[in-house]
Structure 1
Amino acid sequence: MSDNEGYFFKAFTGKQSFEEATVEIAYEMEAHGHYSEAADLWARLGQQGNAEARFNLGLLYADGYGVSRDFLRAAEQFRLAAEQGYARAQVELGNLYYSGDGVEEDEAQAMRWYRKAAEQGDPVAMHNIGTMYRDGVGVDEDDKEAVRWFLMAAEKNYALSQYEMGLICADERDEARAIEWFRLSAAQNHEEAQAELNSRGIQ
């Protein structure tokens, strides 16, 4: 039995629709390094309107796995999925607008898509909004608003925001809270958070 036949056999042993089984097969192919075959499946599913497939095909184009790296095509796929309300695609499309890869750099559009994803509870989007307020990118610098967004993401267990909250609490001389946030972040293998703990003699 070939790898592909094995994937199909494994997928169809459960009670799934053809589309669900094909999604599972595509993930299996990616897990085994068969990115080109996965890209073909994601493309087929995407043509049928599957937002998850469009998002994953966008990732492959952005990273150059199984296909030639192409930010323009990545942006096209992310946009299709984002317009269907797929939060992770909204974040990735926001990232492309932020960096100017595949689309014209547009901080307002980056914020727009981050907000759409944040409205669905996506912690990465929340963190990115916090970063834009902290740095004054596309919006007026607003530390209070930045903290509000970092806190929302941190409470959703997003390690990078937990680290940011640790830094914020440390700056406010609240060491107990800072250590608490650094511990939570370090528990997810965030190296800089662990370094902050180490500098305080905490393992």
Structure 2
Amino acid sequence: MDELRTHYHYFSNEEGDGYEIYSCDFPEVKGFGETYEEAMADLRRNLKRYEEKNMEAQSLMESAIIAYDAKDYPKAKAIWESLSATDTDAMVNLGTMYVKGFGVAKNIQTAYALFNRAAEQGHEVASFYLGGMYENGIGVSASKEESIRYYTVAAEANMPTAQLKLGILLRNDDVLNSMKWMIRAAHAGEAQAHSLLTYVSNQNTANDINVAFRMMDEASQYAKVESVIRDNLAPILASDGGGVELVNFVSGDTPEIWLRYLGACSGCHLGPTSTAGMILEQFENVIDKRIVIYLW
């Protein structure tokens, strides 16, 4: 605590003059005193008590998890109830017990209230659970809008399953963000995202680049990509009643082309030896060999 990062202000009111100091790392912990030195000493005492309380809560949480895993639900419930006034992990764990009916009577409304309190304090797992409740109408009226709102909080906290959920839910309403989240979920190792999203590239083996394409500005590169879709891909795919549309183009050392399957191609999850391979070949011939293509 010798290197505290703090803010302070001097105040004057009916009770007298003094200082208020709070820690930048733990802004909820404050110190008060008639002098700066007294306020700093009070802050240090309060930070010590705060750390001791957190260590005690951590130890209790570990005991509760051990009890829960051993199916000693009454003990786990008692500990999490004792911590649930302030500890968001305890709120979520207790809420999960009420969802499953483990050691308590199943109560979705109580679970919702606990998840909601934790989500309001930034707990991403609670937000994910609320997203699922609104998506499926569990304990609440189903709401796609609310589901997306809560899933977004969890997705932005790098939860791959939430990113997958957003990719699916936004599919027909916001294609760009739908693909953005699906790509992030796939890169995070989400298995279903891998099965839905087709990725093709020769970037690991291609050494030559199209210098003329790389020298274009981004708008010209985008227009060139669109011309490949219009002039090269559309006639081929149209013969089978399908097509693709350009969702996004990301320029750079390894350009990314995001495409959405249309018509008869919609829902195709094909490997690089079939339609996806043909699409990659067309872009390699006209655009560049060192590219990445995402198709969904």
Structures share fold, TM-score greater than 0.5: yes
Select the residue among 93, 98, 102 that pairs with 2:135.
98
Alpha-carbon shift at residue 176 of structure 1 (Å):
6.5
Conserved in 2, the CA contact under 8 Å of 1:55 and 1:89? yes
Query: As a proportion of its length, which structure holds more helix?
Result: 1
CA change 1:24–1:145 in 2 (3 A) is same
Amino acid at match of 2:64: A
Give deviations 1:1-31, integer Å, cap 9, x for gaps: xxxxxxxxxxxxxxx8110000000100111
CA change 1:141–1:17 in 2 (3 A) is closer
Amino acid at match of 1:159: A
* CA distance in 2 between partners of 1:172 and 1:52 (Å): 39
* CA distance in 2 between partners of 1:176 and 1:45 (Å): 56
* CA distance in 2 between partners of 1:163 and 1:69 (Å): 35
Alpha-carbon shift at residue 174 of structure 1 (Å):
2.9
Q: Are 2:83 and 1:45 equivalent residues in the alignment? A: yes
Give the structure 2 partner of residue 26 of structure 1.
64
3-state SS of paired residue (1:17)? helix
Amino acid at match of 1:117: A
1:158-169 to 2 correspondences below 5 Å: 158-165=190-197
Identity, % of aligned pairs? 27
RMSD across aligned C-alpha pairs, in angstroms?
2.5
Give the structure 2 partner of residue 62 of structure 1.
99
* CA distance in 2 between partners of 1:172 and 1:72 (Å): 40
* CA distance in 1 between partners of 2:190 and 2:152 (Å): 17
CA change 1:166–1:74 in 2 (3 A) is farther
3-state SS of paired residue (2:185)? helix
Alpha-carbon shift at residue 40 of structure 1 (Å):
1.8
Select the residue among 188, 192, 204 that pairs with 1:156.
188
1:186-197 to 2 correspondences below 5 Å: none
Conserved in 2, the CA contact under 8 Å of 1:37 and 1:66? no
Which structure would you say has the larger Rg? 2
* CA distance in 2 between partners of 1:164 and 1:43 (Å): 41
Conserved in 2, the CA contact under 8 Å of 1:130 and 1:145? yes
Conserved in 1, the CA contact under 8 Å of 2:151 and 2:166? yes
Structure 2 gaps of 5+ residues are: 1-53, 200-259, 262-266, 275-296
TM-score by structure 2 length?
Answer: 0.48
Structure 1 gaps of 5+ residues are: 1-15, 178-203
CA change 1:172–1:62 in 2 (3 A) is closer
TM-score by structure 1 length?
Answer: 0.69
Amino acid at match of 1:81: A
Select the residue among 162, 165, 181 that pairs with 1:128.
165
